[in-house]
Amino acid sequence: MFVDIVKITIKAGDGGNGAVSFHREKYVASGGPDGGNGGKGGDVVFQADDSLSTLIDFRYKKKYAAQNGAPGGSKRSSGKSGADTVIKVPRGTVVKDSETGRIIADISGDEPVIVAKGGKGGKGNMNFATPTRQIPRFAKPGYPGEQYDVTLELKLLADVGLVGFPNVGKSSLISVVSAAKPEIANYHFTTITPVLGVVKYDERSFVMADIPGLIEGASEGVGLGHAFLRHVERCRLIVHVVDVAGSEGRDPKEDFEKINYELANFSQELAERPQIVAANKSDIATEEQIEEFRAFIEEKDLPFFVISAASAKGTKELVAAIAGELEKLPPITRYEPMPLTFEELEEQAKQKHSFSVKKEDEHFYSVDAPWLAPILSTVNMDDYESLQYFQRVLRYSGIIDALIGAGIEENDTVSIFDFEFDFVN
């Protein structure tokens, strides 16, 4: 089964927590804090694999997570970094944010691409010792790894895309000019998946894609064509194959206009792509039909070739023209990652430290702040300096101001997760 679009969830590893530890060694008095830093969380990495041609494997596994970093240890030992998760995809896969449609990465090259970064490790208490704070009994938690719901969209990497109505001879043409062996039969939609073939000309070669048959309305979701229009987007050159004989009772001029309309309706940039017209099935067409269609195409100032894929007539001349045109064109389109907008960055920052304050009764307030959970786990509430650190976090994050705004008074109770304390401003 050919699958070219899927949605998955990826989660980079969280950073390990910093350690709270004090040096203990015989004959060494007051060794001091020696809690090490936590390890970095693993990244989620995407890499192109040419042995893959479909995204079908992602239909059965939807979640991918990298390893968390290990916590720090005593004797200033840093935690081990989490292992990366490498996800292999077909070359040409575009990774998009499912919510916004923003392009995160285009997996077209050989180099691996980090899509979700692992969180940094938290600092151990050895980092917080000062002349006035010689026994810090707190450490920092690791930072969470990035998490995204992403859409994987395969857009074939081909130099040339063959487009045209069903049964005009695209499969026959690619089978004649390359080593590709598509299924060929005299009925519509014989080809139900894109077929790639490498075409050799002199000492050069290029990749040609047979795009499954488009029909009228394809750009609006009609027929098979809509599902595969995305595979034409990267093509540097379009070869428009037309049944010049009108063997199915259609007018070749109308066919030509309808397919170009569908291309333009899908993408204006695609409609402006260089195009060569191949008038196929010339062996069963009349000279009048061929010349009438030739005049129609030449009025549009497009290269025109008369071919018969069934007998290979004119195919060498067509391949030579394609190779010559490709030399003038820029490389295959690569999609650049789209940076986050200022508004999106601002929203992310807000979400990282978002919280809510609720007055439960006259003297009891609760705080909901998920990001505080790992911080709480590293704070020793029986230690004065550790408690001061926690108070600074509450003040800098705006929680103290929010409690005051909600009407809290001295000695009212505040609950954060399972930890309760009396409010003192």
Measured from the Cβ of residue 339, the count of other Cβ atoms closer than 10 Å reads 9
Query: Looking at residue 98, what DSSP letter applies?
Result: T
pLDDT at 350 over 70: no
Q: What six digits make up the tokens of 63?
A: 């979640």
- Asked whether the beta carbons of 162 and 206 are under 8 A apart, the reply is no
pLDDT at 2 over 60: yes
Mean per-residue pLDDT of the chain = 85
What are the tens digits of pLDDT across the range 331-342? 888 888 888 766
Q: Measured between alpha carbons, how far is 27 from 264 in angstroms, rounded to an integer?
A: 82
Measured from the Cβ of residue 152, the count of other Cβ atoms closer than 10 Å reads 22
* Secondary structure (3-state) at 158: coil
In whole angstroms, what separates CA 382 from the centre of its chain?
47
Find the DSSP H helices in 309-358.
315-328, 342-352
Q: Measured between alpha carbons, how far is 10 from 228 in angstroms, rounded to an integer?
A: 26
Q: Measured between alpha carbons, how far is 176 from 315 in angstroms, rounded to an integer?
A: 8
More confident residue, 220 or 407: 407
More confident residue, 352 or 309: 309
pLDDT of the residue at 374: 76
Q: What six digits make up the tokens of 158?
A: 């081909």
Q: State the burial class of residue 16 (Cβ atoms within 10 Å of its Cβ: 0-12, 13-18, 19+).
A: buried
Q: 204: which residues sit within 8 A by CB, 6+ positions away?
A: 323
Task: List the end-to-end C-alpha distance of the chain, in Å, as a whole number.
Answer: 65
Q: Measured between alpha carbons, how far is 130 from 124 in angstroms, rounded to an integer?
A: 14
Measured from the Cβ of residue 45, the count of other Cβ atoms closer than 10 Å reads 18
Residue 28 — pLDDT band, cuts 50, 70, 90?
A: low
Helix, strand, coil % in the chain, rounded to nearest 5 = 25, 25, 50
What are the tens digits of pLDDT across the range 226-256? 566 777 888 899 999 999 998 888 899 999 9
What are the tens digits of pLDDT across the range 70-111? 999 999 999 999 999 999 999 999 999 998 889 999 999 999
More confident residue, 134 or 111: 111
What are the tens digits of pLDDT across the range 353-396? 788 898 887 888 989 888 887 788 777 777 777 788 888 889 88
Domains of the chain: 1-157 (2.70.210.12), 172-328 (3.40.50.300), 346-422 (3.30.300.350)
Q: Measured between alpha carbons, how far is 396 from 375 in angstroms, rounded to an integer?
A: 14
Dihedral pair phi/psi, residue 78, rounded to 5° = -80, 145
* Secondary structure (3-state) at 381: coil
What are the tens digits of pLDDT across the range 154-200? 888 889 989 888 888 888 999 999 876 655 445 444 445 678 888 99
Q: From residue 50, how far is each of 88, 109, 329 by CA, in Å? A: 9, 11, 24
